[in-house]
């Protein structure tokens, strides 16, 4: 076997690995683009969440200055540089987040708007997660979807607060706190930090499982569910533990330097969204991506090269009835029909979908999971 064949065989094997299949699903489902949209929406949801939470905190426990500084420190541990601390560093002055003045009706309306904008990002996140699993529609009632988004946002806020506190305990602040409470032995502190690190991974893994199951509405087999959640939890915990070290790279960009703090927050949200979406793609354990061999399979040289009612003929092309996306179509050759009919009957699981002009058959062949459409009428 020559070098060229060995390289081709190696590439063939790599493309069939689970990680590579997850990368291809993440890429074809436009994971990076979706992560950017989620990060942009999260920027506005974060403002709403901080306004609500800080107003409640100041109305109850805000008179304690030391407690205020601790809360600001923990928030900045989760989202570096978002709140101004006692040193004056940060983007938002916490006092400007307090909802004051106006009648109680105005206050309720303002809070309702803030809550709605905060949970809207969860809906976008759910759509992005569903795309990683190849779920085109979640088939849920509007009220169920709103409740799921509210629950997801609440769990997200609580878990971020808990894991951020643990991450702070792992860092320099944790060393100071452990020494203050009397844990002076270095080996004991090291063991406690490792336990805290594992605890943060578990919290982040549980958060990922909750969001994927109830916000993304994906029913994942338990083995894939736990393994993927632990991997995603590990990545999120490591990134959060690195804290400002990770986002500091943004400030080195001369173009972004004037508004480095805001760019760093967007970068942080985008990175966390990418980790979550890739974790979902890895959990999905998708089949290997089918690559069309000819332009005719997707009508790329036709006009139009998509399904449209403006050209009724295109309605007969194999396509997904939920999204309208074209499916690969290979007309069988006359000399191959008789030889392959028996194999296709045994190896192909075929499901039929109907459109305006007739029946379309498509299926996935055998264990390879390679899906391709074929024309014809379904047998009863």
Task: List, for residues 259-295, the tens digit of each pLDDT value.
Answer: 666 777 788 889 999 999 999 999 999 998 888 888 8
Quote the mean pLDDT of the chain.
76
Of 101-110, 310-319, 364-373, give the lowest mean pLDDT range. 364-373
- 210 vs 84: which has the higher pLDDT: 210
What integer is the mean pLDDT of 181-200? 72
Structure confidence at residue 380 (pLDDT): 31
Indicate the range of 35-39, 153-157, 334-338 predicted with least confidence.
334-338
Segment 296-318, tens digit of pLDDT:
888 888 899 999 999 999 998 99
Quickly state the pLDDT bin for 113 (edges 50, 70, 90).
confident
The sign of the dihedral angle between the CA atoms of 229, 269, 212, 127 is negative
- The answer, yes or no, to whether residue 355 has pLDDT greater than 60, is no
pLDDT for the residue numbered 363: 44
What's the pTM? 0.76
Query: Is pLDDT of 346 > 60?
Result: no
Q: Please, what's the largest Cα pairwise distance for the chain?
A: 84
The percentage of residues in the chain with a pLDDT greater than 70, rounded to a whole number, is 71
Who wins on pLDDT, 276 or 170? 276
- What is the per-residue pLDDT for 44? 78
Written as one string, the DSSP assignment of 205-259 is: HHHHHHIIIIIS-----HHHHHHHHHHHHHHHHHHHHHTHHHHHHHHTSTTTGGG
Between 26 and 195, residue with greater pLDDT: 26
The full set of domain ranges for the chain reads: 16-284, 295-375
Residue 290: its H or E element: none
Q: Quick one: tokens of 130?
A: 């569903």
* Region class of 88: left (phi > 0), else alpha (psi between -120 and 50), else beta: left
- How many angstroms separate the CA atoms of 205 and 275, rounded? 12
Least confident among 101-110, 139-148, 331-340: 331-340
Residues 6 or more apart in contact with residue 205 via CB below 8 angstroms: 226, 229, 230, 232, 233
Backbone torsions φ then ψ of 74, nearest 5 degrees: -70, -40
- Preceding peptide of 276 cis, ω within 30°: no
pLDDT band at 370 (very low <50, low <70, confident <90, very high): very low
- pLDDT-based confidence at residue 348 (cuts at 50, 70, 90): very low
Q: How confident is the model at residue 157 (pLDDT cuts 50, 70, 90)?
A: confident
Residue 143 has pLDDT above 50, yes or no: yes
Q: Which phi and psi angles does 357 have, rounded to 5°?
A: -110, -10
């Amino acid at each position: 076997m020559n070098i060229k064949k060995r390289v081709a065989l190696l590439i063939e094997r790599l493309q069939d690995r689970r990680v590579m299949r997850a990368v291809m699903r993440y890429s074809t489902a436009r994971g990076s683009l979706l992560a950017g949209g989620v990060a942009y929406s999260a920027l506005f949801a974060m403002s709403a969440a901080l306004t609500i939470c800080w107003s409640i905190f100041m109305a109850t426990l805000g008179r304690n200055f030391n407690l205020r500084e601790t809360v600001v420190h923990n928030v900045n541990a989760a989202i570096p540089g978002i709140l101004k601390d006692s040193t004056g560093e940060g983007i938002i002055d916490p006092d400007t987040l307090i909802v004051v003045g106006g009648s109680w009706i105005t206050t309720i309306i303002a809070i309702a708007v803030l809550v709605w904008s905060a949970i809207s990002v969860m809906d976008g996140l759910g759509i992005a997660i569903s795309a990683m699993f190849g779920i085109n529609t979640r088939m849920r009632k509007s009220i169920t979807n709103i409740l799921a988004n509210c629950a997801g946002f609440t769990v997200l806020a609580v878990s971020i607060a808990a894991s951020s506190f643990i991450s702070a305990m792992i860092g320099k602040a944790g060393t100071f706190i452990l020494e203050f409470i009397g844990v002076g032995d270095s080996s004991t502190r090291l063991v406690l930090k490792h336990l805290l690190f594992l605890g943060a991974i578990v919290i982040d893994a549980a958060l990922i499982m909750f969001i994927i199951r109830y916000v993304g509405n994906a029913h994942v087999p338990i083995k894939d569910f736990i393994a993927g959640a632990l991997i995603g939890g590990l990545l999120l915990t490591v990134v959060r533990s690195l804290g400002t070290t990770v986002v500091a790279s943004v400030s080195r960009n001369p173009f972004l330097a004037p508004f480095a703090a805001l760019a760093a927050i967007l970068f942080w949200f985008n990175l966390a969204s990418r980790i979550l979406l890739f974790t979902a793609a890895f959990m999905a354990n998708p089949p290997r991506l089918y690559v069309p061999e000819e332009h005719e399979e997707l009508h790329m040289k036709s006009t139009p090269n998509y399904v449209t009612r403006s050209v009724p003929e295109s309605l007969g092309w194999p396509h997904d009835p939920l999204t309208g996306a074209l499916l690969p179509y290979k007309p069988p050759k006359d000399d191959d029909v008789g030889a392959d009919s028996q194999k296709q009957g045994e190896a192909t699981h075929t499901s039929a979908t109907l459109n305006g002009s007739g029946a379309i058959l498509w299926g996935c062949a055998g264990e390879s999971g390679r899906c391709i459409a074929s024309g014809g009428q379904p047998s009863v």
